[in-house]
Amino acid sequence: MTENCECPNEERKTSIETLSKEEMLESIHEEIALEVSLDKYYLGVDVGSISTNLAIIDGQKNFVESVYIRTEGRPIQSIQYGITLLKEKVGENFQISGVGATGSARQLTGLVVGADIVRNEITAHSLASLNENPEIQTIIEIGGQDSKIIIIRNGLPVDFAMNTVCAAGTGSFLDQQANRLEIPIEEFGDLALKSDNAVAIAGRCTVFAESDMIHKQQLGHSVEDIVRGLSEALVRNYLNNVGKGKEITGPIMFQGGVAANVGIRDALRRSLIKQNKIKHEDDIIIPEHYDVMGAIGAAMLAMNKIVKNPERETKFVGWQIPDINYQTKGFECKGCPNICEIIEVIMEDKVIARWGSKCGKWDV
């Protein structure tokens, strides 16, 4: 009798625990957990300082298509080019039910594409990563000119940090050093893996790194060793600056453009294992679409917005975005000593937005 009594009790206990956890995750992923609607597709656009990413997901949050191109300081043109490439991939008649914009140029992007929702990168990345793997505890994102860390507990972002003034712990650091060594950045990672003796290189600043690197070259160190030293310098810099004081535990999701680099992946694994932050190499997960996670997150945000408000029509401008003439104009307002820098966005000779003024007198 007693045995019979205990068993269901215990079972119930565990079921409550799993349920509560399930429930919790469900509510947490309210943004993610949505009705199944297969015939609907959502577009996310992430325009950062270095890259412009576009991604399409379906109504079940499955990845459909993506584009990854360089921003090259011209966000509008790169959005237009990205849309052109995406149109070629999916066809002109592909129906988009919602658009989300994120990235440092999210405000401008939202205007150009007609976004239904404009949100910051931290939220977009968290959503995309949690959808990929709800168990993760840390998100490490290293992009072209910024890097961030997001701490996740119980499927909730609880802490974050972004790099400060300096871009030393980011992709452009690698880009520059690869340039100096005249190695294509694509081969950089493989080269690093060939070495088993990393050269110590100061990674705090690209200027110091360069003089350090030249000195090591003159001493006769091989290029492989130097490249591996550079990879370790980047990881060290990231962990000491962005990851300072954060509780980094596995599973970790590593994403952003730099995640493509096998040398950095390896250096990050080694460094975290050495610091006892993770136990196995498998604790670092690199998602399949590591380079467009921000765009996927933005698409998910758009989907959430549309599903929550079913009557709402998307504001998506359409696949003709590349044919529209967008222009931006900047000028200084001399109305008061603040001398605000006003940016004007012009779509086909019509001013659609102005921003930058403190007092709001230029707002459209």
Closest CA to 46 of 143, 116, 121, 98: 121
When the beta carbons of 148 and 265 are compared against another protein, the nearer one is 148
When the beta carbons of 153 and 194 are compared against another protein, the nearer one is 153
Binds another protein by CB under 8 A, chosen from 18, 120, 179, 197: 120
In sequence order, the β-bridge partners of residue 46 are 53, 102
When the beta carbons of 214 and 339 are compared against another protein, the nearer one is 339
Q: Which of residues 142-181 bind another protein (CB under 8 A)?
A: 151, 153-154, 156-162, 164-165
Q: CA dihedral in degrees (109, 112, 115, 119; nearest 10)? A: 20
When the beta carbons of 14 and 338 are compared against another protein, the nearer one is 338
By CB under 8 A, residue 336 contacts another protein: yes
Q: Is the peptide bond before 8 cis (omega within 30 degrees of 0)?
A: no
Each residue 74-103 as x (binds another protein by CB under 8 A) or -, in order, gives ------------------------------
When the beta carbons of 100 and 189 are compared against another protein, the nearer one is 100
Binds another protein by CB under 8 A, chosen from 9, 14, 15, 27: 27
Calpha distance 232→128 (Å, rounded):
27
User: Among 195-203, 274-282, 289-297, 333-341, which window interacts with another protein (CB under 8 A)?
Assistant: 333-341
By CB under 8 A, residue 193 contacts another protein: no
By CB under 8 A, residue 73 contacts another protein: no
Q: CA dihedral in degrees (295, 320, 49, 158; nearest 10)? A: -30
By CB under 8 A, residue 7 contacts another protein: no
Q: How far is the CB of 272 from another protein (least distance, A)?
A: 18
When the beta carbons of 6 and 23 are compared against another protein, the nearer one is 23
By CB under 8 A, residue 339 contacts another protein: yes
Binds another protein by CB under 8 A, chosen from 71, 80, 97, 104: 104
User: Positive or negative CA dihedral for 220, 221, 227, 233?
Assistant: negative
When the beta carbons of 200 and 339 are compared against another protein, the nearer one is 339
Exposure pattern of 153-188 as b/e (b: 16+ CB <10 Å)? Answer: eebebeebbebeeebbbbbbbbbebbeeeebebeeb
Calpha distance 102→294 (Å, rounded):
7
Contact by Cβ (8 Å): 141, 171: no
Calpha distance 300→311 (Å, rounded):
18
When the beta carbons of 177 and 304 are compared against another protein, the nearer one is 304
By CB under 8 A, residue 354 contacts another protein: no
Binds another protein by CB under 8 A, chosen from 14, 15, 18, 20: 20
User: Positive or negative CA dihedral for 239, 242, 244, 247?
Assistant: negative
By CB under 8 A, residue 112 contacts another protein: no
Encoded tokens for 236 = 């060290």
Q: Which of residues 226-245 bind another protein (CB under 8 A)?
A: 244-245
Q: How many CA atoms lie within 13 A of 263 on its CB side?
A: 27
By CB under 8 A, residue 358 contacts another protein: yes
What is the rounded end-to-end Cα distance, in angstroms, of the chain? 77
Exposure pattern of 301-322 as b/e (b: 16+ CB <10 Å)? Answer: bbbbbbbeeeeeebebbebebe
List interacting residues with another protein (CB under 8 A): 20, 24, 27-28, 30, 104, 119-123, 151, 153-154, 156-162, 164-165, 244-247, 336-340, 358
